[in-house]
Structure 1
Amino acid sequence: MVDAHRTFVIVGGGLAGAKAAETLRAEGFSGRVILIGDERDHPYERPPLSKGYLIGTDERSSVFVHEPAWYASAEIELHLGQPAVHINREAKSVRLGDGTSIHYDTLLLTTGAEPRRLDIPGTGLAGVHHLRRLAHADRLRGVLAARGRENGHLVIAGAGWIGLEVAAAARGYGAEVTIVEPAPTPLHTVLGAELGSLFADLHREHGVRFHFGARLTEIAGHAGVVQAAHTDDGTEHPAHDVLAAIGAAPRTGLAEAAGLVLAERPGGGIAVDASLRTSDPDIFAAGDVASVEHPVLHTRLRVEHWANALNTGPAAARAMLGKEVRYDRVPYFFSDQYDVGLEYSGYAPPGSYDQVLCRGDVGKREFIAFWLSGDRVLAGLNCNVWDVTGPIQELIRSGRAVDLRALGDPEVPLESLLS
């Protein structure tokens, strides 16, 4: 039975918000828990949208965080399809789009991020896509299947994780794919030229065409439908559909209007401390929108990946309950493209490392890569090599000097470098 003496409100109906609500109940919170989401779908996980669900191997029902009936059984009050439009910090209330005002004692913002838009002519044509929400994936899945049957052409703006995963899905359906990317390799700011070229080769082997060093300048169409995409070097690419995969921006509008402190670059977001508390002691933030003062990496960091939402939501819930929280998890993400699976741990932005060291067989795409500053491991990527994430993350967390010869030797267990 819910005790209405305290009300915790969660604004944002994604993975972080749903896991926070789950954790509040698991930790014994008996007050009201209200979860507000601007989508009509129940909270879901985003990785399948560009992976299993998009390529057709996962059912739609598999993407949801909980069965719909779980929310009622856990006495979580849902407001779905209803955006929060204003926070009154003095009155401690949230106003919804329909005018409803909801009081909170403690508030958690998990408002996530939204896809960046192409600022070029033609984006209003039918056949221009983004991939962030389940509704986007529903539509894109049908489009890719149809283009595969028709030998249709998809042009993707951006060779980041989403762009590459959608390219792999599209080729699986048989669609023709061209990726336009201003950098010289895919994933250039994340992996650098050292490994970015590996992913270019992987996709070329599967028939993807790349146009590096260029940007889209116009999407041309006829009768309101996409026909071609033009780049700034004068090239015209045939296209039946265009996907904008140029990154995502944190949804900070609600927080900014409420006067909460925002983080400056890199990444922006709502500034929170290691306990995920904002500049208002009664408001917390988690997931894609939160920029955390990371106690291990000694930098402010906003991470847009699944593991971050999975873990910051529960951490914020515990902090809301007054428990001591120090969010210090090493950033982690994974990707699947064709027969290549990978996991990446750590943080190594351009300029922070001086070499990339690999152990294993890069040519066979069975290796581990380490980004190093001197003899310290900043990040690691394991490609088709499994059960090594734990020791990789421990090497990063420890900050200790490592023997580079042993680090590069596949015969030396990573665990031995921790002793």
Structure 2
Amino acid sequence: MYRCRAVCERIAPVARSSCSSSSSSSCCWRLASRNVGRNVSSLARRQGEGFAQLRATRAMSTGGVPGGSLTNVLMYGTMGLSGIASVLYAYNILHGDASRYRDTLTYLNKKQNEQEWKPKQWPPAEEEEGAEDETVTEDTSEADTESPDEGASTVSQAEAEDSKADEATDTKPPALEAEAPATEASAVEPEAPSTQEKVAVTQEEAPAGEEASVVPEDKLEEGQAPEEATESAVKVVPVHLRPAIPEHVTYLLIGGGTAAFAAARAIRAKEPAAQVLIVTEELELPYMRPPLSKELWFSSDSNVADTLKFKQWNDKERSIYFQPASFYVTARDLPYQDGGGVAVLKGTKVLKLNIRENKVKLSNGNEIKYDKCLIATGGTPRNISAVQKAGEDVQKKTTLFRKIEDFKALEKVSREVKSIAIVGGGFLGSELACALGRKVKDGLEVIQLYPEKGNMGKVLPEYLSNWTTQKVRNEGVKVMPETVVRSARSEDGRVHLKLADGQTVTTDHVVVAVGLEPNVDLAKTSALEVDPDFGGFRVNAELQACSNVWVAGDAACFYDIKLGRRRVEHHDHAVVSGRLAGENMTGGAKPYWHQSMFWSDLGPEVGYEAIGIVDSSLPTVGVFAKASAKDTPKAASEASGTNIRSESETEAVATSLKPTATAAPSAATPKPAVPQPPQAGDDYGKGVVFYLRGDVVVGIVLWNIFNRMPIARKIIKDGQVHEDLNEVAKLFNIHEE
């Protein structure tokens, strides 16, 4: 009895499955039922008590009971055939679905490519021969969009082979063909290009701005034809389908100044195929700022505001831009450049920085994800409260000098007005005063006002500041030290500045040059730390603010291992910090130990370079000597080949501090000048000024001494106490005539 029950339980599911998929299910069921009935009756007569239990078992089963009769053999055979039929039916259904899916996918790809690939009218027969000579392959990309000429999906090689026959006949799947518009059937499609035309299109037919890419013959695999290499390796995204702003970039640089360009150049040097995107608020490509207040004003070209080219002191012409426009790629094409590149997104501001999701939000609403980000936002010129509180008329007649547009505006104003007042006596204010002073002979009045006792009074010791003030006056500038502007108003088309001592200065235009305020607006959305004392984003020794975010240039507040935490606003610092940040973004992990330098020229005859902490409130020791004709910015430019002295004054540090040996003086050779401390009324031809903190030199100014910056770096780096700074001054060879 138990054996019969076990067999029934095993056969029942099979029988049900067979009956559900076979046309002879009812016959099979009746035959199995009769067989089970006969066996149950026989067993019941022999065993009696088990009849009820067996009957219950039968009630739960629809299959037969094994036996040795011919009927059971037929039942097994029928069930087996039914199972085989079910398997064949399922296979047929699945195979048909796969075929229909493949046909549908092929048709959809063909329709999409027909819409994207809209060839122009093929050239006439007489022009075809000339057109073929100018063919180039289309630009490649990493996008998943297939080439319009391929027309078939590459899901797998087997599916591609099956679809070739469908593609050759240009047929549609029956299900989709019925849904096609009636007008499509009657439309005349252009003749498909030949195989060679699939690989190459003429320059005239290539979309505007789309570059061509050819697979070199030496890169082809053995036995591979050029057209096969192109079809298998090139994936083309038409230019008109590419987004104007990429959704993701590897390296995102916020800011378009010197630090950002230096970082981009360093990244590309480490990773030649890197894709770098620079986002800047300005409408200009990256450029150098120093010539805006120096050489451009000394140009004899009347169109200098348009060309932005200047002659250096050595008469060599140079552009203010680091690189021409041809150096860059467009932001649209950046993700599709196999060799990488640098793109500049101009006139766009980054509003938000999400450091957790590695993305930024732009002023135009777009979002960009990045792998590594650099903040090089620089600074915004400070204004004075008197102008800020004045009306709109005064502000329209005021220039906060910083950018190319400020130079262009001021250069135009200087040719149209009769008087310009410069508020500020630091580097920028003094340079602009000397530059505009050259126009005094043309009838322009130049006035300079500042609260210090002399020009650059916060940097230079008092005696040298007074000498500089006299130099500026000699240029024709009306210098008014120790004056503070209390209020400003516009009347009769002119600006009236009320001073703290009660005087009133009337002028046509005002230039404010009183320093920078670092741009740290992104700290509000990124939770980056801003230094409360110096301003700027606080960074570690590697210029990193947080994971995947670095800061360089004016906006970086870094820790100097010798001088403590600092923030520097100079061209050389922007160059070196930008370069180091770029290297660290590629995995460099280098600390920033560089002592940056800065320089200022009061024309081609007087200039100075400085390094470290140069603060006139510190104790100073100055050693000077008589200058010669070679001790001028012009001579230094002729010797080095550039006016941008951060390019000639390298980062190198002197290996030893030893004065250069000189020949013993003879009767025909004049005795070398002996360095002397400054005296009242001296003409400070050339010299060295040491700034001390606890008897240790922390800053150095080289007055009309050039190409000696490595020695100055060595002195500050050593941090030693020097008993006689006159001896240290000899290291700079200032005694040479």
Give the equivalent residue in structure 1 for 2:704. 384
Give the equivalent residue in structure 1 for 2:576. 311
C-alpha distance in structure 1 between counterparts of 2:480 and 2:728, whole Å: 33
Query: Paired residue for 1:193, among 462, 475, 486?
Result: 462
* Alignment partner of 1:251 is 2:569: no
Structural mapping, 1:116-265, within 5 Å: 116-120=382-386, 121-122=389-390, 124=392, 125=394, 126-147=396-417, 152-174=418-440, 175-222=444-491, 225-265=493-533
- Deviation at 1:385? 2.1
Larger radius of gyration: 2
C-alpha distance in structure 2 between counterparts of 1:105 and 1:308, whole Å: 25
DSSP-derived class of the 1:105 partner: strand
Letter of the 2:413 partner, please give it: V
Structural mapping, 1:360-399, within 5 Å: 360-361=625-626, 363-373=683-693, 375-399=695-719
Please give the TM-score of this superposition, normalised by the length of structure 1: 0.90
Query: Paired residue for 1:277, among 544, 548, 553?
Result: 544
Q: How many residues align?
A: 405
* Alignment partner of 1:23 is 2:290: no
- Deviation at 1:186? 2.2
C-alpha distance in structure 2 between counterparts of 1:176 and 1:371, whole Å: 36
Query: Paired residue for 2:328, among 71, 87, 91?
Result: 71
- Deviation at 1:307? 0.4
- Deviation at 1:182? 1.4
C-alpha distance in structure 2 between counterparts of 1:350 and 1:367, whole Å: 16
Letter of the 1:399 partner, please give it: G
In structure 2, do the counterparts of structure 1 residues 249 and 347 end up closer, same or farther at CA, with 3 Å as the change threshold?
same
Moved more, 196-205 or 71-80: 71-80
C-alpha distance in structure 2 between counterparts of 1:398 and 1:27, whole Å: 31
DSSP-derived class of the 1:363 partner: coil
Moved more, 354-363 or 134-143: 354-363
DSSP-derived class of the 2:411 partner: helix
Moved more, 114-123 or 9-18: 114-123
In structure 2, do the counterparts of structure 1 residues 111 and 272 end up closer, same or farther at CA, with 3 Å as the change threshold?
same
Please, which runs of 5 or more residues in structure 1 have no aligned partner? none
- Deviation at 1:404? 1.9
Give the equivalent residue in structure 1 for 2:557. 291
C-alpha distance in structure 2 between counterparts of 1:6 and 1:237, whole Å: 53
| Paired residues of 2:457 and 2:616 also in contact (CA < 8 A) | no
| Paired residues of 2:391 and 2:489 also in contact (CA < 8 A) | no
- Deviation at 1:21? 0.9
- Deviation at 1:123? 6.0
- Deviation at 1:261? 0.6
C-alpha distance in structure 2 between counterparts of 1:49 and 1:355, whole Å: 31
C-alpha distance in structure 1 between counterparts of 2:142 and 2:701, whole Å: 47
C-alpha distance in structure 2 between counterparts of 1:346 and 1:360, whole Å: 23
DSSP-derived class of the 1:23 partner: helix
In structure 2, do the counterparts of structure 1 residues 365 and 229 end up closer, same or farther at CA, with 3 Å as the change threshold?
farther
| Paired residues of 2:287 and 2:322 also in contact (CA < 8 A) | yes
Structural mapping, 1:103-122, within 5 Å: 103-120=369-386, 121-122=389-390
Give the equivalent residue in structure 1 for 2:592. 327
| Paired residues of 1:262 and 1:270 also in contact (CA < 8 A) | yes
Please, which runs of 5 or more residues in structure 2 have no aligned partner? 1-139, 144-247, 310-318, 330-338, 627-681
Please give the TM-score of this superposition, normalised by the length of structure 2: 0.52
C-alpha distance in structure 2 between counterparts of 1:303 and 1:48, whole Å: 19
Which structure is higher in helix share?
Answer: 2
C-alpha distance in structure 1 between counterparts of 2:494 and 2:573, whole Å: 36
- Deviation at 1:24? 0.6
C-alpha distance in structure 1 between counterparts of 2:621 and 2:489, whole Å: 41
Letter of the 1:16 partner, please give it: A
Give the equivalent residue in structure 2 for 1:14. 257
- Deviation at 1:140? 1.0
C-alpha distance in structure 2 between counterparts of 1:160 and 1:44, whole Å: 23
C-alpha distance in structure 2 between counterparts of 1:401 and 1:123, whole Å: 54
Give the equivalent residue in structure 1 for 2:275. 32
Letter of the 2:289 partner, please give it: R
- Deviation at 1:131? 0.8
- Deviation at 1:350? 5.2
| Paired residues of 1:332 and 1:346 also in contact (CA < 8 A) | yes
In structure 2, do the counterparts of structure 1 residues 25 and 238 end up closer, same or farther at CA, with 3 Å as the change threshold?
same
| Paired residues of 1:54 and 1:137 also in contact (CA < 8 A) | no
Query: Paired residue for 2:624, among 355, 359, 369?
Result: 359
- Deviation at 1:392? 1.6
In structure 2, do the counterparts of structure 1 residues 379 and 406 end up closer, same or farther at CA, with 3 Å as the change threshold?
same
**CA-to-aligned-CA distance 1:358-395 (integer Å, 9 cap, x gap):** 23245143222222335432211122222222212211
Query: Paired residue for 2:308, among 60, 74, 82?
Result: 60
Letter of the 2:518 partner, please give it: P
| Paired residues of 1:14 and 1:44 also in contact (CA < 8 A) | yes
C-alpha distance in structure 1 between counterparts of 2:728 and 2:565, whole Å: 30
DSSP-derived class of the 1:19 partner: helix
Which structure is higher in strand share?
Answer: 1
**Percent of aligned positions with the same letter in both sequences?**
25
C-alpha distance in structure 2 between counterparts of 1:55 and 1:127, whole Å: 24
- Deviation at 1:84? 0.7
- Deviation at 1:30? 3.2
